[in-house]
């Protein structure tokens, strides 16, 4: 059954030929967009909705989340706000709680946060394992997540669990753990960072994942300058995420590669880290994505609009740059930029309608809930 969305005051398509349209319309049929153009030329459809001048954009593509968890880290957050430095080791607190939780409890947490995200315009979600850190718990995290989100990433190399040395644990991740989890995920990731895994250990994890046919992702350059970006580019990873500390060489490497620089500004605020230099990346020609990094320790938000507002107000991205990064950029980081994060014929019908006349209001009115309606795979979700 086809549906005409008309009366669109501003339509952000992310398509290089269509650009941004005004007084526009689009038609969806099933789970796909089948027509986009001026409202005056719109074809007939089985049903129609007049959006009365509101702005429309692709649904947010959140390409970096950690939704399979249990427990609470409010105490850690409060201590950080009182001046304690952020350390990667806080992950261990969540690992203990996650291992103790039932499948039903973990599924409820995933569903709660997916619903929260969708209600704010997110229509495509990646999430990671990484709070199990043993074979049975990483496997169940992957299985549970695969039934609730769009993309799942294996992050067994999130932290070295208590009782293990790093090299022995990497052997487990690359061997028995990866073999168990690989059938249930699309990606493999590694936290290449001081306090987690060094460059050599990270390379071993990524190369093992590639041998299992998994795409590559990297957590890198969050807490200091390091090898994460270089490794991601060398191995043709789809994205390197955080990118808080970048040398000029890192920026140049990203600009000359297919690897997306995924920035996580809500995390940097929560951990009181510097915000990434988005303009250096954009000016060099790198592809930039924005994502929420929703997790219980360092970025407990599902609001992509919040991330966009930070990017505009504090990282000096233009509104159009930030919106593109949070939609098409996220899709590119998942290597699905022809399917999602874009509104043109043949794309997935993931549509976010703002209760505002333009996307500028996302930064002009920060913190105000502006989502009016959401279609996800052609089905109205709000």
> What phi and psi, each to the nearest 5 degrees, are found at residue 34?
-115, -10
Contacts of residue 357, defined as CB under 8 A and 6 or more positions apart, other chains included, come to 9, 10, 53, 54, 55
Mean pLDDT of 162-184: 97
Is the per-residue pLDDT at 91 higher than 90?
no
At 94 the pLDDT is 94
338 is in an annotated binding site: no
158 is in an annotated binding site: yes
* Cα 118 to Cα 62: distance, rounded to the nearest angstrom: 10
* Cα 73 to Cα 271: distance, rounded to the nearest angstrom: 13
* Cα 128 to Cα 233: distance, rounded to the nearest angstrom: 21
* Cα 19 to Cα 133: distance, rounded to the nearest angstrom: 45
* DSSP-derived pairing of the beta strands 122-128 and 32-38: unpaired
113 is in an annotated binding site: no
212 is in an annotated binding site: no
Report how far Cα 85 is from the mean position of its chain's Cα atoms: 25
Mean pLDDT of 71-84: 91
At 90 the pLDDT is 80
124 is in an annotated binding site: no
Measured CA angle at 129 (ends 321, 169), to 5 deg: 120
Is the per-residue pLDDT at 115 higher than 70?
yes
Q: Cβ distance 39 to 12 under 8 Å?
A: no
pLDDT-derived band of residue 88, with 50, 70 and 90 as boundaries? low
At 186 the pLDDT is 98
At 84 the pLDDT is 87
Is the per-residue pLDDT at 104 higher than 70?
yes
Mean pLDDT of 284-313: 98
* Cα 217 to Cα 305: distance, rounded to the nearest angstrom: 24
**Mean of the per-residue pLDDT values of the chain:** 97
Is the per-residue pLDDT at 323 higher than 80?
yes
236 is in an annotated binding site: no
pLDDT-derived band of residue 38, with 50, 70 and 90 as boundaries? very high
Mean pLDDT of 239-254: 98
* Cα 26 to Cα 34: distance, rounded to the nearest angstrom: 8
At 92 the pLDDT is 85
At 89 the pLDDT is 64
Mean pLDDT of 165-169: 97
219 is in an annotated binding site: yes
Helices (H), the chain: 74-81, 91-100, 103-118, 135-146, 166-172, 178-181, 199-211, 228-234, 248-255, 265-271, 278-284, 304-313, 319-324, 330-333, 361-364
Identify the H or E element spanning 261: strand 260-263
Mean pLDDT of 76-93: 84
Helices 135-146 and 91-100: crossing angle in degrees, nearest 10, is 80
At 185 the pLDDT is 98
């Amino acid at each position: 059954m086809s549906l005409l969305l008309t009366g669109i005051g501003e339509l952000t398509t992310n398509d290089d030929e269509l650009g941004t349209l005004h007084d526009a319309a689009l038609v969806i049929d099933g789970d796909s967009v089948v027509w986009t153009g001026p409202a005056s030329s719109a074809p007939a459809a089985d049903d129609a909705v007049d959006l009365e001048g509101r702005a429309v954009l692709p649904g947010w593509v959140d390409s970096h989340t950690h939704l399979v968890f249990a427990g609470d880290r409010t105490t850690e957050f409060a201590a950080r706000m009182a001046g304690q430095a952020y350390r990667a080791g806080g992950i261990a607190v969540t690992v203990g709680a996650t291992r103790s939780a039932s499948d039903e409890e973990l599924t409820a947490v995933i569903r709660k946060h997916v619903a929260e995200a969708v209600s704010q315009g997110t229509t495509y979600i990646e999430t990671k394992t990484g709070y199990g850190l043993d074979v049975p718990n990483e496997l169940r995290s992957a299985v549970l997540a695969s039934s609730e989100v769009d993309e799942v990433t294996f992050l067994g190399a999130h932290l070295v669990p208590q009782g293990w040395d790093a090299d022995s644990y990497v052997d487990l991740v690359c061997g028995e753990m990866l073999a168990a989890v690989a059938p249930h995920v699309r990606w493999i990731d590694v936290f290449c960072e001081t306090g987690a895994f060094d460059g050599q250990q990270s390379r071993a994890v990524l190369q093992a994942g590639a041998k299992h046919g998994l795409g590559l992702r990297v957590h890198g350059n969050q807490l200091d300058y390091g090898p994460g970006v270089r490794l991601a580019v060398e191995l043709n990873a789809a994205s390197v995420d955080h990118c808080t500390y970048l040398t000029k060489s890192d920026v140049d490497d990203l600009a000359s590669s297919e690897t997306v620089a995924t920035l996580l500004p809500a995390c940097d605020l929560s951990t009181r880290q510097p915000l990434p230099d988005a303009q250096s990346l954009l000016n060099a020609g790198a592809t930039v994505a924005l994502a929420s990094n929703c997790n219980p320790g360092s970025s407990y938000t599902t609001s992509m609009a919040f991330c966009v507002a930070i990017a505009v107000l504090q990282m000096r991205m233009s509104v159009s740059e930030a919106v593109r990064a949070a939609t098409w950029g996220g899709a590119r980081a998942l290597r699905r930029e022809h399917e999602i994060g874009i509104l043109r014929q043949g794309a997935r019908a993931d549509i976010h309608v703002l209760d505002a006349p333009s996307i500028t209001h996302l930064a002009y009115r920060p913190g105000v809930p502006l989502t009016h309606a959401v279609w996800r795979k052609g089905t109205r979700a709000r």
